[in-house]
Chains A and B, each alone.
Chain A
Amino acid sequence: MLLQGKAHKFGDDVNTDYIISGKYKFKTLDMQELAKHVMEDLDPDFYQKINAGDFIVAGRNFGCGSSREQAPLAIKYARISAVLAKSFARIFYRNAINTGLPVVECDTDQIDPGDELVVDLSAGVITNKTKGITIQAKPLPPVMIKILNDGGLVAHFRKYGGFNFD
């Protein structure tokens, strides 16, 4: 699958409180509503700047902090097609795969704000069209590829009634 869009750049250690603040997430299960507040404490106008398909591009340890699944869901409902980071915090990484938000571990120093990217998830290759370069992504573990291919953990359970990695 090819994803295409513009890069929105953030730094290291973007925690899940920054992705979606606790003051909103405890109130509702309406993810469309939560999406409007995505990254609000880092950039109050961020939601307005997103065009469908755009990417969040960050440094190390993206998604650290709380286990709130509202974090990947708010990003997904804000129409971000994937998050690219140098590394991810482990709970966020699992939650993203489980909820069907693609997460791509790669060298993000070669991406600047506004760069036009094409991400080939199955090949694990990022093309930075603005800079005319390609970046190789670190492959996902096979278990996660299986869950992602099934459409997330909910779909995996609907299909098999439990875990099935054979």
Chain B
Amino acid sequence: MGQTIIEKILSSHSGQEAYAGDIVVARVDFIMGQDGTSPLAIRAFEEMGGSRVFDPDRVAFVIDHSAPSPNEGVSALHQLMRRFAREKGIHLYDIGEGVCHQVVPESGRVGPGSLVIGADSHTCTYGALNAFSTGVGSTDLAGALISGQMWFKVPETFKFVCHGTLPRGVYAKDLILYLIGDVTADGATYMAAEYTGEAIASLSMDGRFTIANMAIEMGAKAGLMEADEKTFAWLARFTRRQFTPVSPDPDARYARIKEYDVSNLEPQVARPHRVDNVCPVSEVAGTPIQQAVIGTCTNGRLEDLRIAAQILAGRHIHRDVRLVVAPASRRIYLQAMQEGIIQTLVESGAAVVTPGCGPCVGTHNGVPSDGENVISTANRNFKGRMGNSKAFIYLASPATVAASALTGRITDPREFLG
């Protein structure tokens, strides 16, 4: 019987022919923990009686969620992570190196066919590299640190076939927001999403990461894509490691298949306070905003900063708007500097903050005030997400956020793209 991508990866890592519904114990190729989840994992590791990590080379800790530390409580937890990493020989990416979901792919350790777990829900991002990667909690992470394994229920697969080409001014972010709005926040719960079709194939790797990143916002366990020459060209920048691509069989069984034509898609916006509360930008255009955010594990990559700079070049943001930019990694920050992008952004009035999660998780770097509207390239707009439950968060593409920062109102970016 044919298999989906995730069934194949779970088969190769568990030593048994795995199909949706089966329970398997699989070996993991790579494990990641960040500063919001690793401290609890360290505690669980110790309570489990753990002494050594199964293979320190297959583990990374990343300090990105509150980096640099905004208070002494966070500092103590960062210290705990640094000490544990040193003792166990784990590589720790410290403040300023970037968001976990950018530095892990840049490490070259993850590629087609890999099985990755991360104590962060957006670990599904590496599905863009044809890897099965999924978010777990701290105790599951601790179990994997000790055993190098994790148990999985093999998920069914929901296939999204995206035909056509995205029109000018419409990006991967608009597409994934549209898909989430269509299937809703629990439309793919317990399932793996497989994204396919020429609209996906024509995306850059940066765009594919954006799509895979938000699979969790439809409840999915993974957001997988097939590998192609773009995948391997991207990986070759970071590693000489060889990976074997994993494709679904023609007779693989899918729980659901939905087809889309993206050719007439408009820029999309997710309105407060739900990621699936999505509409075309025209429906909310004109809504005043006080803060704009470009960055995060969804849209802090070079291509995102490039598009923002293209719109902001030679212009200044509206006087009633703060624009916060957080490059996804130090590498991207440096590339953006070399291209003059950072210069353009700063000249336009942006405040550039440390590579990392920025203000997305509400710990620092731009907590909005009561009643304020924020437009952000992040992946979540839950009430209180940015640290104030009386603020309102709209999610959009970097282009829409940049255009809105210029006008002080939610704005269709095509107005600035000529």
**Residues of A bordering B, CB below 8 Å:** 13, 15, 17-18, 21-23, 25-29, 40-41, 60-61, 64-70, 73, 87, 89-91, 94-95, 98-99, 141-143, 152-154, 157-158, 161-163, 165
Contact = CB atoms under 8 A, between A and B. Distances in A.
Given A69-B138, A143-B23, A163-B149, A18 B49 contact: no
Q: Residue among A13, A69, A154 with the most chain B CB within 10 A?
A: A69
A89 B186 contact: yes
B254 interface: no
Contacts of A161: 49, 146
Given A29-B39, A161-B49, A67 B136 contact: yes
7 contacts: A22-B387, A26-B35, A41-B389, A61-B185, A65-B216, A143-B153, A165-B23
Interface string B103-140: 00000000000000001110100000000000111111
Name the 5 nearest CB pairs between A and B, nearest first: A27-B73, A95-B137, A61-B186, A157-B48, A69-B137
Contacts of A165: 23, 25, 151
Contact of B25 (A64, A70, A141, A163): A163
A18 B384 CA distance: 8
Given A26-B35, A70-B40, A163-B25, A157 B382 contact: no
Interface string B43-55: 1100111100000
Contacts of A89: 186, 189, 219
Interface residues of B, number: 56
Nearest to A62: B186
B380 interface: yes
Contacts of B43: 29
Interface string B213-241: 00010010100000000000000000000
A61 B151 CA distance: 22
B380 A17 contact: yes
B396 to A, nearest CB: 19
Contacts of A17: 362, 380, 382-385
Contact of B363 (A23, A29, A60, A152): A23
Given A18-B382, A22-B361, A158-B48, A67 B137 contact: yes
A64 B143 CA distance: 22
B20 interface: no
Interface in B7-53: 23, 25, 35-37, 39-40, 43-44, 47-50
Contact of A91 (B49, B137, B147, B382): B137
Contacts of A25: 36
B65 interface: yes
A67 B363 contact: no
B363 A26 contact: yes
Contact of B274 (A13, A22, A94, A95): A13
B186 A157 contact: no
Contact of B121 (A40, A87, A91, A98): A91
Contacts of A98: 137, 139-140
B77 interface: yes
Contacts of A64: 185-186, 219
B71 A15 contact: no
A163 to B, nearest CB: 5
Given A13-B186, A64-B186, A165-B23, A153 B36 contact: no
A87 B189 CA distance: 9
